[in-house]
Amino acid sequence: MVGIKDVAKAAGVSVSTVSNVLNGKSNVGEDTKVRVLNICRELSYYPNSAGKALKAGKTNTILFNFSDFDRSFFLKIIHGISDYVNDNGYDLIICTEKSCEKFMRSNLSCGGIILDQKMKDETLNKIAGNSYPIVVLDRIIENPYIKSIVVNNYDPMCELIQGVIKRGYRHFGFVGGPEHTDDNKERYRAFRDVLEQNNITFQQKSYFAGDYREKSGYTAAKILMLSQELPDCLVCANDNMAIGAMKAFRDNGIRVPEDIAITGFDNCDLAEVMGLTTVSIPNYERGYIAARYLIENIRGSRNVEPFKISAKILWRNSVLLKKK
């Protein structure tokens, strides 16, 4: 490993001069500067980040944390984060599961964007601080050093259900996601509220608890098919489960939307091909905005007002335009 000393020796100068050259300080002669830079190239010298970080007491690295490998919209979020972070001279590391807390606490990163729901609020509250701002996605944490960025689930879900009702649907089923997650709660609440506003009763037996995975939607639909009569419309808390349900119906000769309508939430890649009516979340933008707020907070602005991202409804033919 070639270090700053090797460069200094080869260039016949002191290490501090090399350091000054590399950091663009003005107190160094033109000819020495050129000589040093050439030597660096020749020896292919790269500064050791450990030394740098240790001295500086901080880094310029943003951390992004996720862990659910089944949902491909993460790639879009990462893309948005990556673009903003790179444009602003920061580095990005993405990490999963266990390494994450370590990378946050050990000065290897200077701020984090957290998507993984497995990372507990309590842990984040402990880690967040003046020198380590955090942005959390899909949940709200009240903490002067944590900015929350959430999708406005309630309004578009209301609009979606109201639209479905307007099209003549009256009997609903609901497939929910993990019950402790804020977004699932909000989507379900919107669903119930709109039904109530329209004097439509909803029976608890028409609720199916899923986990946002395709398989749980498939299972919910299978169970549903055992009951006396199908609902008109099965509302799913996300696309994966909606797609699972569509497959289950298809496998059992039940037509969508003629026999039953289905709606999802997310607008995942498959949704378009499957013709699934759903709510589109701007994921790239979500990542970009998250990175922007994080870096602004790292730089000293103290902005932790929760930020709501709006989503829009995509009507596709998993719902009939006009029920008979």
Partner DNA sequence: TTGTAAGCGTTATCAA
Partner DNA sequence: TTGATAACGCTTACAA
Question: Could you tell me the smallest distance in angstroms from the CB atom of residue 236 to its own copies?
Answer: 16
299 counts as binding its own copies under rule CB under 8 A = no
Instruction: Report the residue from 15, 22, 37, 108 that binds its own copies according to the rule CB under 8 A.
Output: 108
Nearer to DNA, 39 or 246 (CB): 39
Q: Which is nearer to DNA, 33 or 222 (CB)?
A: 33
Contact 262, 256 (CB under 8 A): yes
Query: Which amino acid, 30?
Result: E
Q: Looking only at residues 15 through 54 of this chain, which bind its own copies when binding is defined by CB under 8 A?
A: 44, 46-54
Distance between first and last Cα of the chain: 75
**Contact, 127 vs 134, CB < 8 A?**
yes
Return d(Cα 92, Cα 201) in angstroms, integer. Answer: 49
Q: Nearest distance from residue 9's CB to DNA, in Å?
A: 10
Residue 273 touches its own copies, criterion: CB under 8 A: yes
Rounded to a whole number of angstroms, the minimum distance from the CB of residue 134 to DNA is 21
Work out whether 267 is an interface residue with DNA (CB under 7 A): no
Beta-carbon contacts of residue 87 (< 8 Å; ≥ 6 apart):
none
Binding flags for its own copies, 58-97, as an x/- string (CB under 8 A): -x---------xx-x-xxx-xx--x---x----xxxxxxx
Quick one: which segment of 46-54, 122-130, 165-173, 222-230 binds DNA (CB under 7 A)? 46-54
Question: Would you say 43 or 209 has its CB closer to DNA?
Answer: 43
Confirm or reject binding of residue 50 to DNA (CB under 7 A).
Answer: yes
Query: Rounded to an integer, what distance in angstroms lies between the CA atom of residue 172 and that of residue 260?
Result: 10
* Structure tokens, 192: 């119930």
State which residue, 34 or 75, has the beta carbon closest to its own copies. Answer: 75
# binding residues, its own copies (CB under 8 A): 44
**Binding of its own copies at residue 181 (CB under 8 A)?**
no
* By the rule CB under 7 A, 29 interacts with DNA: yes
Please say which residue, 27 or 203, places its beta carbon nearer to DNA. 27
CA distance 64 to 300: 20
Residues in contact with 18: Cβ distance below 8 Å, sequence separation at least 6, in sequence order: 4, 7, 8, 11, 36, 40
Q: Which amino acid is at 98?
A: K
**From its own copies, DNA, none, which one binds at residue 23 (CB under 5 to 8 Å depending on kind)?**
DNA
Phi then psi dihedrals of residue 143, to 5 deg: -165, 135
List residues near DNA by CB under 7 A: 1, 3-5, 12-17, 19-20, 22-23, 26-33, 47-48, 50-52, 54-57
Interface with its own copies (CB under 8 A): 1, 44, 46-54, 57, 59, 69-70, 72, 74-76, 78-79, 82, 86, 91-99, 102-103, 105-108, 126, 131, 269-270, 273-274
